[in-house]
Amino acid sequence: MTVEQNVLQQSAAQKHQQTFLNQLREITGINDAQILQQALKDSNGNLELAVAFLTAKNAKTPQQEETTYYQTALPGNDRYISVGSQADTNVIDLTGDDKDDLQRAIALSLAESNRAFRETGITDEEQAISRVLEASIAENKACLKRTPTEVWRDSRNPYDRKRQDKAPVGLKNVGNTCWFSAVIQSLFNLLEFRRLVLNYKPPSNAQDLPRNQKEHRNLPFMRELRYLFALLVGTKRKYVDPSRAVEILKDAFKSNDSQQQDVSEFTHKLLDWLEDAFQMRAEEETDEEKPKNPMVELFYGRFLAVGVLEGKKFENTEMFGQYPLQVNGFKDLHECLEAAMIEGEIESLHSENSGKSGQEHWFTKLPPVLTFELSRFEFNQALGRPEKIHNKLEFPQVLYLDRYMHRNREITRIKREEIKRLKDYLTVLQQRLERYLSYGSGPKRFPLVDVLQYALEFASSKPVCTSPVEDIDASSPPSGSTPQTLPSTTEQQGVPSSELPSTSPASIAAISSRSVIHKPFTQSRIPPDLPMHPAPRHITEEELSVLESCLHRWRTEIENDTRDLQESISRIHRTIELMYSDKSMIQVPYRLHAVLVHEGQANAGHYWAYIFDHRENRWMKYNDIAVTKSSWEELVRDSFGGYRNASAYCLMYINDKAQFLIKEELNKETGQALVGIETLPPDLRDFVEEDNQRFEKELEEWDAQLAQKALQEKLLASQKLRESESSITTAQAGEPEYLEQPSRSDFSKHLKEETIRIITKASHEHEDKSPETVLQSEWHQDYRKFRETTMYLIIGLENFQRESYIDSLLFLICAYQNNKELLSKGPNRGHDEELISHYRRECLLKLNEQAAELFESGEDREVNNGLIIMNEFIVPFLPLLLVDEMEEKDILAVEDMRNRWCSYLGQEMESNLQEKLTDFLPKLLDCSTEIKGFHEPPKLPSYSTHELCERFARIMLSLSRTPADGR
Please identify every residue annotated as catalytic.
178, 598, 606
What torsion do the CA atoms of 434, 435, 441, 442 make, to the nearest 10 degrees?
-20
Burial class (CB in 10 A: 0-12, 13-18, 19+), 1: exposed
Residues 728-757 as b or e (16 or more Cβ within 10 Å = b): eeeeeeeeeeeeeeeeeeeeeeeeeeeeee
Strand duo 618-623 + 342-343: pairing = unpaired
Q: How many CB atoms lie within 10 A of CB 606?
A: 26
Residues 6+ apart with CB under 8 A from 327: 336, 374, 375, 376, 389, 391, 393
Query: Nearest to residue 614, comparing CAs of 660, 649, 651, 650?
Result: 660
Q: Are 750 and 715 in contact (CB under 8 A)?
A: no
d(CA 342, CA 334): 12
d(CA 569, CA 745): 100
Residues 6+ apart with CB under 8 A from 331: 392, 393, 394
Instruction: For residue 918, give Cα distances in angstroms to 839, 855, 872, 904.
Output: 30, 13, 17, 10
Phi and psi for 616 in degrees, rounded to 5?
A: -95, -5
Burial class (CB in 10 A: 0-12, 13-18, 19+), 701: exposed
d(CA 325, CA 345): 18
The amino acid that residue 301 corresponds to is G
d(CA 358, CA 515): 84
d(CA 2, CA 585): 38
Query: Nearest to residue 254, comparing CAs of 123, 90, 430?
Result: 123
The amino acid that residue 714 corresponds to is K
Q: Would you give the DSSP letter of residue 533?
A: S
d(CA 967, CA 889): 9
Residues in the chain: 967
Query: Nearest to residue 259, comparing CAs of 135, 120, 445, 382?
Result: 135
Q: Are 869 and 854 in contact (CB under 8 A)?
A: yes
